[in-house]
Structure 1
């Protein structure tokens, strides 16, 4: 099967060339239609209030219990209001605000994906600034005392986004593979159609004009066996001879054959136009060929009679 496809592609190379050009165009279009995406990430840590840390204590040792406030802040950024705020910054940006699964503690992870590097960084900076604002708003609404107000700090924020080409590569490879497969299938199918059409044309021409070797075969047959023509010519001569009746037995039987009177099983037929010896000569082409000179003499003798 593979060998047949390769032979078909070799015969229809122009179809293969056209298919490869179209495949290249399809691949380029797919690459341009799916540009790479840019990703950026930021981490925000919640810190306990002043009354939760003893004098001279370390705030990082008092982080327990802050996962609950962090979850409340994360829940807000999953709302429609937060999505509308981000759409005002970049309508093509996608973001995710959730607790960081890689650490234990009140760490909020902000992930942003956009089609441009500028839009990605701008959206990340916007969300990183909105997290402490939303945290402060929620505490003010519940009337939390100032010494217990929870604060936040940015642990890390990407300055340059990272390009993600995985989607572009997948689409490009898919377009390239589809173009190559389509080229092979189209070439093999068209080659089959053209080959069948050519076979039908040849069969039609053979049926209409006959095989090209028929005339040559007949010519060879005629050259190889000229005896039938010689026999026919001699039969004509004998017929001309029998038109003039003769009473001389030597003329009726030039080669010394038996006459009808000599054979009791045979009777002469004056209307038959040939004797037994003449029929014997006609039935034996070699005898006719070898005795053609003698037949001519016998014919002339009959006419002289």
Structure 2
């Protein structure tokens, strides 16, 4: 309960500060909204189209299978597919497909988790219609490039590896992940700066607390030393004690007997005779 109450008080204090310093927070939020709008305008939506092709064995190699290429799959076909993908990503191939009208960027690679010589041909761009068209250009160029490889090696047509399109170029799909990431980052940054400015203004406006004076010492005051003039010497103290002792030994005058008084009176008379 104590922790929950503390958190509630902290949140309440934050909202109170935001309400008091609205004139600082509001411009910051407006700038954050403007920053988000700028991201939406400056970061265009990207579209992506993809096709899938497979390399098939030659007609000569499939003669033993009645010409069925899917029954004759060799490991060498996967190696050839990897070599073709690397060649398509080279600068020379990029220049060739650009000359044929391809726009945007593309990538040729072996299909993920494929159990055969399957390739993905992917094109990315900002124009939806142009992206699909470019993917068609790339797919046709891949088949042409495969044939050029084998022609350079003087391979007979019946012994050439063939290419077949398994999945034709698909409709371009919007890729909003990157744009959304930039938008979220811009909004979080703007909101954080707005909150920092708000609490900075609050700290500047609050009066600074003055240091409290130190509390008086509660220890009892030590008795002041008496001046040396009020002290008595040892001899004076002994004389005072003797005088008090003598006074205590003498009987009081009212307790003396009446007979003693005439005797005391006669004694001087006898002395005079």
Mapped to 2, the partners of 1:57 and 1:24 lie a distance apart of 64
Q: 1:60 aligns with which of 70, 87, 110?
A: 70
Quote how far apart the aligned CAs of 1:138 are.
0.9
Residue of structure 2 in register with 1:126 after alignment: 137
Q: 1:5·1:184 contact (CA, 8 Å) conserved in 2? A: no
The answer for the alignment partner of 1:42 in structure 2 is 51
Determine if the alignment matches structure 1 residue 183 to structure 2 residue 194: yes
1:166-220 per-residue CA deviation (whole Å, 9 max, x = no partner) reads: 1111111111111111111101111222334xx79xx9xxxxxxxxxxxxxxxxx
Q: What residue is the counterpart of 2:269 in the other structure?
A: none
Higher RCO structure, 1 or 2 (CA under 8 Å, sep 6+): 2
Whether the 8 Å CA contact 1:44–1:156 is kept in 2: the answer is yes
* Residue 124 (structure 2) aligns with: 113
Alignment partner of 1:195 is 2:206: yes
Given candidates 12, 25, 40, the residue that maps to 1:31 is 40
Deviates more, 1:127-136 or 1:184-193: 184-193
Secondary structure at the aligned position of 2:114 is classed as: coil
**Structure 1: 4+ residue segments shifted above 6 A:** none
Unpaired runs of 5+ residues, structure 2, are 1-9, 211-273
Matches of residues 82-231 of structure 1 in structure 2 within 5 Å? 82-88=93-99, 89-90=101-102, 93-196=104-207
C-alpha separation in 1, matches of 2:169 and 2:160? 28
- Matched with 1:13 is 22
TM-score, normalised to structure 2, is 0.66
1:72 corresponds to: 83
In 2, the alpha carbon distance for the partners of 1:137 and 1:57 equals: 23
| Counterpart contact for 1:40–1:120, Cα < 8 Å | yes
TM-score (norm 1): 0.60
Tell me, in whole angstroms, the C-alpha distance in 2 between the residues paired with 1:37 and 1:10: 41
Deviation digits for residues 126-163 of structure 1 (CA, Å, limit 9, x no counterpart): 11000110111111110001220222111112331111
Cα distance between partner residues in 1 of 2:82 and 2:195: 56
Tell me the secondary structure at the aligned position of residue 186 of structure 1: helix
- Report if the CA contact (8 A) 2:50-2:170 is conserved: no
Shift in CA distance, 90/129, structure 1 to aligned 2, threshold 3 Å: closer
Does the 8 Å CA contact 2:49/2:135 hold for their aligned counterparts? yes
Structure 1, residues 66-95: CA drift from partner, whole Å, max 9, x if none?
22322222221121111223444355x221
Contact 2:105 2:123 in 1 (8 A): yes
Alpha-carbon deviation of 1:6?
2.4
Separation in 1, partners of 2:193, 2:71: 64
